[in-house]
Amino acid sequence: MRTVHHDLNERPFLLVWEVTRACQLVCKHCRADAQFTPDPLQLTTEEGKALLDDLAGYPDGRPMVIISGGDAFERDDLAELIRHGTEAGLPISLSPSVTPKFTDERLAELSDAGVKAMSLSLDGATATTHDAFRGIDGSFAESLRAADLIRKHGFRFQVNTTICADNLEELPQIVRTVRQMGAHLWYVLFLVPMGRGSHLSPLTPEQEEDVLNWLHDVSDWIPVKVTEAPNYRRIVLQRDAEADGEIARGGNPAPPRGELYDRLLAETRELLGEPERVRVRRPPIGVNSGRGFAFIDHVGHVHPSGFLPHDAGSVRDRSFRDIYREDPMFRALRDPSGYSGKCGVCEFNDVCGGSRARAFAMTGDPLASDPTCAYQPRGA
Ligand code: SF4
């Protein structure tokens, strides 16, 4: 298991700054419920630079910063902000939308400003399904064009996919498209039913268990990163122990893999063939909402995650570093022994802890058990 070697009580490993909520797309699963025009209260250029200075001020290393939206390309000062951050020493990557603002010139400008990595979204394997998710005809074709531009400029390239009941059956075909796009990493987000996504259905616990097991196998074809399903880390430990004829952490055996897992894996083999070689799997890292991860919204409010709307205060009033370290909810999220239900007693809660965002979205309590995990800890 890849681990973080600094104190997550002091400094996040990774954070997302939503620089604007403006976006020209109308994606079905949009967390932010993005709007066509920017909020007049979004952080100004100078406030954004002050935030980046604050983030760069950690004495013992700097968090990775992902700039997102809305659509970050809606900000005319984007390159200026990024140049300021990278010159201060922050590693910055970008997660824009594919719209007419995604141009060759813009990418050249951002490369020059110091961006090293960029991601695109792909939520269906075909124009029909992807465009239906994105709410704009032609979005699939434009995403393929955008992938070519990203590779042309030499960015590390990640494709983001939100998994829900609507695209479950297409997953093997999506993996094939992700590989055809030339991605270095497939970033898989399990739907948190909030914002516009509250009308979509997350997977059942049994489906999630099968898909996470399938993702463990998919990482033989392409490196995979999983978000809002931290029980993937439990599955990695269980599968590794299973391969050695052991049971991970003295817990219960994993639930049996089901028919969905068999079907997804068979179709993946049919589409991709056997992996050319067994890759070194990209092991998951034990960060979670508020525990190594934080989200700063467009008006400067700090949250444990973009999917967990606890408001810990504004960077207009206090330093991000103080908010992250001292907010009582952030502190509670960093202590899995205080979670209620099975996540509180689980053998894996120090590396997993469950999706705190999904616990909140589905129960109203961010410290409740993750309702989409199929595992039964010994003590539960
Ligand atoms: S019970 Fe909770 S902590 Fe344990 S694996 Fe499931 S989600 Fe993770």
Measured from the CA of 343, which atom of ligand 1 is nearest?
2
Q: Report the candidate in 155, 148, 162 with the shortest Cα–Cα distance to residue 191.
A: 162
Residue 330: per-residue pLDDT? 98
Testing ligand 1's pocket by substitution, the residue of 228, 231, 363, 367 carrying the most ligand atoms inside 8 A of its CB is 231
Q: Give the amino acid at 199.
A: H
The predicted-structure confidence for 161-199, as pLDDT tens digits, reads as follows 999 998 999 999 999 999 999 999 999 999 998 876 677
Output the CA–CA distances (angstroms, integers) from residue 95 to 61, 67, 310, 363, in the order listed: 23, 6, 23, 30
In the predicted model, what is the mean pLDDT of the chain?
Answer: 91
The predicted-structure confidence for 37-91, as pLDDT tens digits, reads as follows 888 899 999 999 999 999 999 988 899 999 998 899 999 999 999 999 999 999 9
| Residue with CA closest to ligand 1 atom 6 | 373
Whether the model clears a pTM of 0.85, i.e. scores above it, the answer is: yes
Q: Which residues line ligand 1 (CB under 6 A)?
A: 231, 234, 342-343, 346, 348-349, 352-354, 369-370, 373, 375, 377
**Which string of DSSP letters, residue by residue, matches 200-250?**
S-PPPHHHHHHHHHHHHHHTTTS-EEEES-THHHHHHHHHHHHHTT--GGG
The predicted-structure confidence for 98-122, as pLDDT tens digits, reads as follows 888 999 999 999 999 999 999 999 9
The predicted-structure confidence for 234-278, as pLDDT tens digits, reads as follows 999 999 899 888 889 988 888 889 999 999 999 999 999 988 765
In the chain the domains, ranked by start, together with CATH numbers, are: 14-288 (3.20.20.70)
Residue 33: per-residue pLDDT? 64
Q: How confident is the model at residue 34 (pLDDT cuts 50, 70, 90)?
A: low
Residue 137 has pLDDT above 90, yes or no: no
Is the Cβ–Cβ distance between 225 and 185 less than 8 Å?
yes
